Structure 1
Amino acid sequence: MEALRPRTPARRRAGALAVVVTATLLAAGCSGSGSDAASDGAFETSEQRVPAGAVAGDELGAAAYDGAESPAGDVDRAAAEAAAREVITTGTATLVTEDPADAAARIATLTEQAGGRVERRQESRGSDTEPASARLTLRLPADRVNSTLEALRSLGDVADVSLTKEDVTATGRDLDARIAALETSTARLTELMAQAGDTEDLLRVEQELASRQGDLDALKAQRADLSDRVAMSTLEVWVTADEAAVAALAPPATGFRGGLEAGWDALAAFGRAAAVTVGAVLPWLAVAGVLALAWRAGAGLVRRARGTRPAVGTTPGDGA
């Protein structure tokens, strides 16, 4: 019955007001939930932006992230790679000193103190034409080569230094791989030899195992030699007392001392030249003396023969 009553203007306004209030509340609730959802989505996006870019393969974002977050890691990685490299260092040096024998003994002591060894040592006292000298082959730890070269400067004038470095990392890795493969193969052949059923199979496996073992031993020897050359560098040192080299390296003397040294050097040079000349002439003088003696002896024999010869047209009985 209430529904059939005609609506009055007051009841129409009240109903319209209720509809407006309900619609407003519903709109506010929807917008609030939508903004919360949007904010949640934005929060999740901001939290996951960098990892998602890195996982998805965004090169620019990944490079920027890595460069900003791990510079120390890159440095450590580069240092580890440099330390893993295998480098063979060889070098030569020339040392000019007044006493090569004493310098050679000191070099040997320096080498032993550095943890190395002297593989070869030759010394020459020298002569009138050749100065005294010494030659040493040193094996030094790779990290002590530079310090040893600096120590040589305290023994004389280092006239020449040459160092060569050869990277053999690839060769070492190749040898390691081949050794590992042969070790696996020999282990497998050893197992097969234990499981061989008849004598023929046993002999065939033994022959193959011996061949593989020989190859393995050869590769291990090559690897040991390579590792030794990497760990211990080779340095050839030539020690000389060459006066010309010493004079070229030392500052020239001046004044009275300089004139005295120049005159003495000239006199010594003249004496050496005179000695060389006399030494060259003496053999010829000896030969000339022998020829002169022979000629005189021959002439005397001829004169005696002429004095005892009889006169022409006479006989021995005529005189009697």
Structure 2
Amino acid sequence: MSRKVVVLVAVVVVLAVTAGCMGLGNDSGEADRYGGNGNGDSAAGNGNGGAGDETTYADADADARQAVASTQETDRQLIRTAELSVSVDSYETARTQLTAEAEGSGGYLSESDQRTREREFDNRTETWTEGTLTYRVPSESFDSFYAAVEGTGNVTDASTGTEDVSDQLVDLEARIDNLETQRDRLRGLYEDANETQDVLSVEQRLSEVQAEIERLEAQRESLRDRVAYSTVTVTLSEPAPEPETAATKEAGSAWYETSVVSAFVSSIGGVATVARAAVVAGAYLAPYALAFGTPLALVLVGKRRYLNRGHSSASTETTERTTLDADESEASDEHDE
């Protein structure tokens, strides 16, 4: 194997070890390794220069952290959030008002969850609406939008939170800059590589570095978006109707103000109710009627038969007497003649 190939492989190995140490946060170790790598490259490949002739990865990392930190010293990167529960007279009115307020400040409604509740009162259905709305508003409009939410109704619960992600962004920026420097060097090595094995090794490492850069950039953009747009979650709820609400509505008008049709329909309902009550009462009384009414009925029937029998005997005796008297009268008439 030629000296150039040996140097190329050594550089790839050093870069891989350096990236692993970066994930552990050992900056001082990185500086030593990068310095040695720089000297080795100069001695083996170029034959001139040294660690003092070029900026090492550790120096670039430190410079990036310092530059970003100094920029953000007076401009902290804060993620602000809020959660509120509000009782409102009309869910739809409050929702429309808050959405217009958010859009007017450059924000938007990101999520919405609406629920309709119902309850039966005296053959009528009372409904009310509840819902959870998630708004994203510019961080500079957070306070004004929070006040707008409070103005929609009665706030029953509220909480706010603030998270400082300045250090996270500084760290992400430094790691991305460092990986971009590695990527540029690997691209140069890839172009200079001649052996197939060297090309594949550099290409694999280059792919890993690029994937890590994209992952860290996605984290950075997510944090920046959460800093730029605050999240406000609002739960709106209409008051549930009380049971006496329906009765109050019924008692609100005099009986003679009821329409003829309504009165007739109500009367039909009353008749049906009375009939049903009579049937139910009969069902309750039926066992008692069978238990006590049957013997009484038998007694009454027996007494009536007894009375009818005595009356029949008296009538027969009367008839016989009448017949005898008639015969005697005829006999007397005949004797006189």
Alpha-carbon deviations, 1:209-239, whole Å to 9, x = none? Answer: 0011001100000011011111111110000
Work out the CA distance in 2 between the residues paired with 1:216 and 1:231: 22
SS in 2 for 1:242: coil
The counterpart of 1:224, out of the listed 221, 236, 256, is 221
SS in 2 for 1:84: coil
Q: How far 1:268 moved relative to its partner? A: 6.1
Identity over the aligned pairs, expressed in percent?
A: 31
Matched, 1:94 2:80: no
What is aligned with 1:192?
Answer: 189
Give the TM-score normalised by the residue count of structure 2: 0.48
What is aligned with 2:160?
Answer: 163
The counterpart of 1:235, out of the listed 232, 235, 238, is 232
What is aligned with 2:206?
Answer: 209
For the 8 Å contact 2:106–2:138, the answer to whether it is kept is yes
Work out the CA distance in 2 between the residues paired with 1:225 and 1:148: 22
The counterpart of 1:267, out of the listed 229, 244, 247, is 247
SS in 2 for 1:91: strand
Q: How far 1:118 moved relative to its partner? A: 1.0
Alpha-carbon deviations, 1:58-117, whole Å to 9, x = none? Answer: xxxxxxxxxxxxxxxxxxxxxx86642111111101221111122112211111111111
What is aligned with 1:115?
Answer: 106
SS in 2 for 1:218: helix
Work out the CA distance in 2 between the residues paired with 1:206 and 1:82: 39
Work out the CA distance in 1 between the residues paired with 2:195 and 2:111: 55
Matched, 1:136 2:133: yes
Q: How far 1:243 moved relative to its partner? A: 4.3
Work out the CA distance in 2 between the residues paired with 1:188 and 1:265: 78
Give the TM-score normalised by the residue count of structure 1: 0.50
After superposition, the Cα gap between the structure-2 partners of 1:82 and 1:127, relative to the gap in structure 1 and judged at 3 Å, is farther
For the 8 Å contact 2:102–2:145, the answer to whether it is kept is yes
Work out the CA distance in 1 between the residues paired with 2:246 and 2:190: 85
Letter in 2 for 1:137: T
For the 8 Å contact 1:145–1:233, the answer to whether it is kept is yes
Letter in 1 for 2:100: T
Alpha-carbon deviations, 1:276-296, whole Å to 9, x = none? Answer: xxxxxxxxxxxxxxxx9xxxx
Alpha-carbon deviations, 1:96-147, whole Å to 9, x = none? Answer: 1111122112211111111111110122232118741121011111111110
Letter in 1 for 2:173: D
Work out the CA distance in 1 between the residues paired with 2:150 and 2:204: 58
What is aligned with 1:183?
Answer: 180
Work out the CA distance in 2 between the residues paired with 1:109 and 1:265: 33
Please give the residue correspondences for 1:1-320 in structure 2 after superposition, counting only pairs within 5 Å.
83-128=74-119, 131-243=128-240, 265=245, 267=247
SS in 1 for 2:113: strand
Letter in 1 for 2:226: R
What is aligned with 1:29?
Answer: none
- Structure 2 gaps, min length 5: 1-70, 121-126, 250-282, 284-337
For the 8 Å contact 2:72–2:166, the answer to whether it is kept is no
The two structures, once aligned, show a CA RMSD in angstroms of 3.1
For the 8 Å contact 1:101–1:134, the answer to whether it is kept is no
Please identify runs of 4+ aligned residues in structure 1 that moved more than 3 A. Answer: 80-83, 263-269
Letter in 2 for 1:227: R
SS in 1 for 2:80: strand
Q: How far 1:159 moved relative to its partner? A: 2.8
Work out the CA distance in 1 between the residues paired with 2:78 and 2:150: 26
For the 8 Å contact 1:104–1:134, the answer to whether it is kept is no
Letter in 2 for 1:213: Q
Work out the CA distance in 2 between the residues paired with 1:268 and 1:97: 22
Alpha-carbon deviations, 1:245-278, whole Å to 9, x = none? Answer: xx9xxxxxxxxxxxxxxx9549369xxxxxxxxx
For the 8 Å contact 1:101–1:123, the answer to whether it is kept is no
- Structure 1 gaps, min length 5: 1-79, 248-262, 270-291, 293-320
Letter in 2 for 1:168: V
Letter in 2 for 1:115: G
After superposition, the Cα gap between the structure-2 partners of 1:264 and 1:208, relative to the gap in structure 1 and judged at 3 Å, is closer
SS in 1 for 2:99: helix
Letter in 1 for 2:200: L
Alpha-carbon deviations, 1:167-213, whole Å to 9, x = none? Answer: 11111111111101100000110111111122221111111100110
